[in-house]
Every structure is written in structure tokens, then in C-alpha cells.
Amino acid sequence: MPAPGRDRPSTVDLSRSAVARYLQLATLFRRRIEQGAWSLGTQIPTVDALAAECGVARATIRKALDLLHQDGLIERFRAKGTFVRNLPATNRLWCEVETDWSGLLRSRDGAAIEILSDIAGIDGALVPHAGIGRTGARYRHIRRRHARDGQPFLLADVYLEKHLAARITPEDLRTKTALKLVAGIPGVRIGDARQTLTIGMADVETAAALHLPLNAPVAHVLRAATNPRGVLLLVAEGIYRGDMVRIDIKLR
């Protein structure tokens, strides 16, 4: 006889992602709470019911619910069931990935920036290629972690051309977005600027830095700016928590 929760018809398709099933289900259940399908104070379906609905083992459902319990979203009562305790943090904490120039220059309200490392004299050949321009001889590499209310939401590696890096203050590094570090320098002209976004999964290092489970969804954002001669002034590789990011695109 098949194990409970296995080989049953499922209304939830989990087969097209490399992300672990319990992580996919935790994201799905968070969304149900956020959207009101599981409203605040109400009892959620039993483990057996969710296993049957999702076509997975009960142990997988329990692992997904464990994540919600750790986040303080649900509360379990023996002999009574599991109830929604709080709304997801995404209702209170999220970060927009802007798609226009003015938005990319705007600092995030309430965000704090922590400098994790700062290395001068990086060989230009080691700077990630951004698909535009060409690298200079030397760069300064700064790793920063952005947080709000103590919750990290962005891990970023910033590479600044060495002559520009010398004109940036420690206060700039703690308060300005990556592109604003360059655009805010008097006399600096931007010849070209690009942004590329891809979706991936948190590796061991990223998961630890952003307080995420291994393989949790993340958004990789690569930003680059060149001078009019095509030399890269800035390359910034950012990794955003997938549950705390929103992408706004202006269509007109």
C-alpha cells in the first residue's frame, strides 16, 4: 500500500522546480495566509488533508509547516489543531527592485547597510562581466548586507573602479544604493547602465547571510554602469530574499 500522501491525485504541481518540495509548499502556505485563504485566527487543514491535496508525504507537510511555525505564522495546539497566528512579514517588509533610473538611485526607507568586507586593488579580470563595456585595471570590492528592522533582505557585492572608489566616503557606503555611489560623484558621466534579473536558489553562504533555508528562492540582480568610453565604473551583484522582494515595471 502506498505511504500516506504519496501517489495520490494532487491539485498542486511541484514537479517543475529544483527547489525542495517542502520549501515550495512553505511558500504556497505563506501565500494562502497573506491572501486571506487562511485568515488570521482560523484553523488550517490537517496534515493528512494537506498531504492528500498536495500529493506528498505527511513528513513533507510537517517540514513546510515547521518553517511557518518558526516564522511565527502558525501556532499548534494539541488535540485542537493548527491556527494562523500572524500575517507574513511580506505584508510589512518588502523591497522593490526598480526598473527605472530614478528608482534605482532612491534609497530604501528604513534600510540599514552593513559592510561585511572591503578589499582594494582587485584585478579587473576578476570582476564579474556584466555584458556591457570593458573592465579597467583595478577595482575596490565591497560586500554589503542590507536589512530592515533587523531582517536582512539583500546581500550585495559592489565593484567600484579604483579612481572613483577613492572619492567615496564611509558614510556613502552605509547609506547609498550601488548606482548612487557612482552617480552622486560630481563630474562623473554615465555612458551606459544595465540591470539584469534572474531567479535562483540560495546556496549555503547566501542562506546563512540572509537567514534563509538552503535552496530557498532568491532573486539575482546584476547592475552595471560604464563611462562614455565604455569602461566599467561599477558592477553590483545583488541577491534578494525571494519572499521579500517585489518587482515594479513601469509600462508607460
CATH number of this structure's domain 21-90, picked from the four choices 3.40.50.720, 1.50.10.100, 3.40.50.620, 1.10.10.10 = 1.10.10.10
| Per-residue model confidence as pLDDT tens digits over 13-35 | 565 555 678 888 888 898 898 87
In the numeric block, which cell numbers belong to residue 195? 540591470
Question: According to CATH, what is the number of the domain 93-247?
Answer: 3.40.1410.10
Residue 57 CA to residue 64 CA, distance in Å, equals: 11
Confirm whether 21-90 and 93-247 share one CATH topology.
no
pLDDT digits 0-9 by tens, 134-193? 999 999 999 999 998 888 999 999 999 999 999 999 999 999 888 888 887 888 899 988
Q: The whole model's pTM is what?
A: 0.67
Rounded to the nearest 5°, which phi and psi values hold at 231?
-85, 135
Domain positions in the chain are 21-90, 93-247
